[in-house]
Structure 1
């Protein structure tokens, strides 16, 4: 049964596309549905119950525990009230807690073990502590608190295999500047971790557990690539065994970029999509040994069928929506198709069909739902009117024991809609008016087709044990760089720290004097030594004074002469007659004497302007 939550209401369809009413003939397991508005509905035993009426608050997020014994509801915060509620099967509140963060993320900060023995939670997004509860005793009072030095970036209770000799683990991840640290606590020991693991990546850390809990893949990442080569940042994968061994291994990552990681439901293998698009899709066994490469394809989503025999590789989001379906038992491609703008992609509980949906609010128009067979043939297509909206679409939960695995024939031919006669006979929709139609064959499209064809020839292929060895081993320098501690930052007194009680520590008097003395010594080294003044001897001093007086007298005469000359030029006669030439001296030929001649350059008499002329006598 398919459940569709639309703006107009909740609708039910069977696998053949026939609509059903929500009545006694539709048997539904517990299902929680959160609509866009304030109406939060819990569908349990065909009874619709408003959770908002029970908690008396607007609900922002809801989530079930693994066995659906409890329901967690996080509400919009109200001052002085708890906003995180835990309800049992009878829809009664059994615990209330305070969540000091976004109410949409409240349920994400509550983690359950798959056997519901332990529950863990945080109270704030920046908390350094994780509160652990033993479900059988109480969900209100914790049995232990785990506290670390830095903010807890992520935490999760590891799945348990069910065997009594296997321990329960709580995994806590913290991020640093260049690396991330994952601590593994063996419950109920809350004081010290059992072991630790370092990863490259300092902004975000996630955990991908095997369903039986025997191993975990630590996915650490940077949001920004320091080299500037990748738009999606840098990623790092580590494989850690929790039970049945102590293997620690680095997982191969191409181009430092990871799109998706997923374990098979039977925990026998996992798939990693890494590298730039078209990306490399690689199959690993449960001991982290690469066995098969699906090739380079445009994919970023992995979906295993419930029986682990089929795998869907899809390219959704910013890709064109391509779908490839592989038979994992013989590693052959059995079908492909397209589902554009897909937001939801799920296998049916019996593994016979695939559901894809375009939902609101990721896509606000042209919401639709499609159903495909296990080999990729489209059998249903329901469009939602743009006046309505599709908020959710999913399969009714069922236990896998109710169904049997679909056996795919060995000689099954690959399905392709382009070669399907039924698809060719379907009328194609007419092109919308005003739509730009580009030529089908251009130089750019031809180049792209050639590039995609050349990429497709790079796979699929079987892998040897050492094919990815260069990507999975770490050098000594890399290990030392991960273990190296960052340099401590200089301690700076905060602004107005002296006003705060118990704020920045004030240095003692001895420390202040030592600091001042050190500064004085540094200033002396930088300041040049002063020149010592020595007085001249008396005799030299008298001579200096005499020369100064003579020079002052000469300067005074020169100033007076220049001043007198300026005054005469301004107020003198306009038509001055030239003075007669001096008569020859009676003493000519008998010697020399110097006579001052006061004539200007034009021959007119002007005192102080003349020149010296020698006469013989």
Structure 2
């Protein structure tokens, strides 16, 4: 699609819709809203609808910018659409008064196509207010106190299933699947007792029907990250306070659960907080940024094994483009806004840029451009947004005046099939100069040192470049330890070769091998184990020959010979 993609902008002066690249002009088809009371705006997941709230009116439009409905008396503060955009949910603060001491429903579900009110619920808490649908919208669920209730075929008057006591659910997540549905629930433990996360297949919610269980003591809160197919979920367990005093950020741990019952703790090789977690849209891998600064960034496969290290750097944010062929790593918040863009197939860096003071980043649906914005109330000065090419080139900038605050910026959404994955070019793209003042990069030197030669040093001694685990990059402590062991083994073998008593010294006989024949299975993991067992059996055969020649063996060598039967049994099992 060559046409420009619309960008909706909400500020203290109202709501407007602009064109993205290459136009960068106002979209005249949308009648600009001028009001200081714009509280929320949202595109539907497939981009067919646009909703916004002004004062006490909720407006629903098609993205041809024709008005569908204006719902009056709605003080919506938060909006969400169902996955297909069939329903729009609006949440507002729950209130009571003398004339209505019971209060009115503050979570309302509307039909998007005509604005018809389908159902109203009372939902007093702002946390976990959103209903969760399956991707086919057949199943809808809500958290009511400590129960999860389910509705089928969008019949909100009939609760068909419920997860209730003794589970006492604190939070939950419904898989983004259709046909088969999975639910993962967090149950907060009592003081001194562990918390639990359980995976169920809908509608089997009895204790003996759990597909997987994870328990941990440090889990005041759990965040859920499903892959796009809904077959695996990552659990980020967090505590607000680290009682050991080891971290200001509390304590986090990352766990992996598959709908096939597979569970694992994701082992991270650097101490410190977990800053960001994201699945690749291609579902076969996920990325984690973790550790004290400079943080470490690692790609893991579905076995939770690290398959690529991006090294260390000032990063705390992960953003894959919608097609999954470009990975953006950034450092925002208390960091300086450094951005790196990587091609995910070759693991090569495409470009770098800096977007200081950014509070929001979003990829365009085309996967070629992304925008960064500085918004209020996080930052009330320097508001505005910028549009970048994936090479790191700044191609458009729109600063806001000091009298107007920018609240929200977002691209219009599109179905995944609209924009195909495009080939990544490593060529430089022409960039415009930013009007934002740049911080000086010159190192401060006190007057006493200004006439002396500069001293170069590294701020962090543990900085690592990008590399494959065990590859050509800077090796970890574990890799160095394994390297030392290999060198010691080579030295011992050399000593045996130089030993006159050694059968191989000065002899033309072939190396001793066991009579066991092995058959590889084609499974890389099994074949690796089979080859290791074969090596051990060959070594045992050599020891047995030395023993038959009258050589006195050491205790550990005799123990190896005794373990021959166990190795043969294990080999037989692997080759089944």
Residue in structure 2 matching 1:188, options 164, 178, 203: 203
Match of 2:27 in 1: 21
Match of 2:377 in 1: 361
Match of 1:173 in 2: 186
- Does residue 121 (structure 1) correspond to residue 138 (structure 2)? The answer is no
Measure how far apart 1:232 and its partner are: 0.5
Measure how far apart 1:463 and its partner are: 1.5
Residues 297 and 430 (structure 1), Cα distance of their counterparts in 2 relative to 1, 3 Å cut: closer
Q: Distance in 2 between matches of 1:159 and 1:310?
A: 23
What aligned pairs does 1:117-516 form with structure 2 within 5 A after superposition? Answer: 117-123=138-144, 127-134=145-152, 136=153, 138-149=155-166, 151-160=168-177, 162=178, 164=179, 167-176=180-189, 177=191, 179-192=194-207, 193-195=209-211, 196-242=213-259, 245-253=260-268, 254-409=270-425, 412=426, 440-442=443-445, 450-452=457-459, 454-456=461-463, 458-464=464-470
Q: Distance in 2 between matches of 1:263 and 1:360?
A: 29
Match of 2:51 in 1: 32
Measure how far apart 1:101 and its partner are: 2.1
Residues 291 and 441 (structure 1), Cα distance of their counterparts in 2 relative to 1, 3 Å cut: same
Q: Distance in 2 between matches of 1:387 and 1:303?
A: 32
Q: Distance in 1 between matches of 2:454 and 2:254?
A: 34
Verify the 8 A CA contact 1:208 1:218 in the aligned structure 2.
yes
Measure how far apart 1:298 and its partner are: 0.9
Instruction: Report the secondary structure of 2:204's partner residue.
Output: coil
Q: Distance in 1 between matches of 2:87 and 2:436?
A: 48
Verify the 8 A CA contact 2:308 2:469 in the aligned structure 1.
yes
Q: Distance in 2 between matches of 1:70 and 1:369?
A: 30
Measure how far apart 1:179 and its partner are: 3.5
Cα distance per residue 1:487-528 (max 9 Å; x no partner): xxxxxxxxxxxxxxxxxxxxxxxxxxxxxxxxxxxxxxxxxx
Q: Distance in 2 between matches of 1:87 and 1:4?
A: 24
Residues 322 and 33 (structure 1), Cα distance of their counterparts in 2 relative to 1, 3 Å cut: farther
Verify the 8 A CA contact 1:357 1:393 in the aligned structure 2.
yes
Cα distance per residue 1:233-258 (max 9 Å; x no partner): 1111111111xx43211102332420
Cα distance per residue 1:136-162 (max 9 Å; x no partner): 1502321112113364221111121x4
Residues 14 and 4 (structure 1), Cα distance of their counterparts in 2 relative to 1, 3 Å cut: same
Residues 328 and 143 (structure 1), Cα distance of their counterparts in 2 relative to 1, 3 Å cut: same
Measure how far apart 1:270 and its partner are: 0.6
Cα distance per residue 1:349-370 (max 9 Å; x no partner): 1111011111122212221101
Residue in structure 2 matching 1:58, options 75, 84, 102: 75
- Does residue 100 (structure 1) correspond to residue 100 (structure 2)? The answer is no
Q: What are the ranges of 5 or more consecutive residues in structure 1 without an aligned counterpart? A: 471-617
Q: Distance in 1 between matches of 2:456 and 2:156?
A: 58
Residues 51 and 185 (structure 1), Cα distance of their counterparts in 2 relative to 1, 3 Å cut: farther
Measure how far apart 1:440 and its partner are: 3.6
Residue in structure 2 matching 1:41, options 59, 64, 69: 59
Q: Distance in 1 between matches of 2:172 and 2:88?
A: 20
Measure how far apart 1:49 and its partner are: 6.0
Instruction: Report the secondary structure of 2:219's partner residue.
Output: coil
Residues 437 and 250 (structure 1), Cα distance of their counterparts in 2 relative to 1, 3 Å cut: closer
Measure how far apart 1:448 and its partner are: 12
Instruction: Report the secondary structure of 1:206's partner residue.
Output: strand
More helix by share: 1
Verify the 8 A CA contact 2:225 2:233 in the aligned structure 1.
yes
Larger Rg: 1
Q: Distance in 2 between matches of 1:222 and 1:461?
A: 32
Match of 2:538 in 1: none
Measure how far apart 1:38 and its partner are: 4.6
Q: Distance in 1 between matches of 2:28 and 2:194?
A: 51
Match of 2:94 in 1: 77
Cα distance per residue 1:543-580 (max 9 Å; x no partner): xxxxxxxxxxxxxxxxxxxxxxxxxxxxxxxxxxxxxx
Measure how far apart 1:285 and its partner are: 1.7
Instruction: Report the secondary structure of 1:441's partner residue.
Output: coil
Instruction: Report the secondary structure of 2:9's partner residue.
Output: strand
Residues 452 and 133 (structure 1), Cα distance of their counterparts in 2 relative to 1, 3 Å cut: farther
Residues 343 and 439 (structure 1), Cα distance of their counterparts in 2 relative to 1, 3 Å cut: closer
Residues 204 and 429 (structure 1), Cα distance of their counterparts in 2 relative to 1, 3 Å cut: closer
Instruction: Report the secondary structure of 1:59's partner residue.
Output: coil
Residues 9 and 144 (structure 1), Cα distance of their counterparts in 2 relative to 1, 3 Å cut: same
Verify the 8 A CA contact 2:60 2:115 in the aligned structure 1.
no
Number of residue pairs matched? Answer: 440
Residues 429 and 230 (structure 1), Cα distance of their counterparts in 2 relative to 1, 3 Å cut: closer
Verify the 8 A CA contact 1:153 1:205 in the aligned structure 2.
no
Verify the 8 A CA contact 2:385 2:399 in the aligned structure 1.
yes
Measure how far apart 1:437 and its partner are: 8.8
Match of 1:112 in 2: 133
Verify the 8 A CA contact 2:78 2:90 in the aligned structure 1.
yes
Q: Distance in 1 between matches of 2:335 and 2:329?
A: 12
Residues 257 and 442 (structure 1), Cα distance of their counterparts in 2 relative to 1, 3 Å cut: same
Q: Distance in 2 between matches of 1:82 and 1:232?
A: 37
Match of 2:495 in 1: none
Residues 67 and 199 (structure 1), Cα distance of their counterparts in 2 relative to 1, 3 Å cut: farther
Cα distance per residue 1:258-299 (max 9 Å; x no partner): 001000112121101110111110001233221000011111
Q: Distance in 2 between matches of 1:220 and 1:198?
A: 10
Verify the 8 A CA contact 2:394 2:431 in the aligned structure 1.
no
Q: Distance in 1 between matches of 2:295 and 2:15?
A: 38
Q: Distance in 2 between matches of 1:344 and 1:429?
A: 16
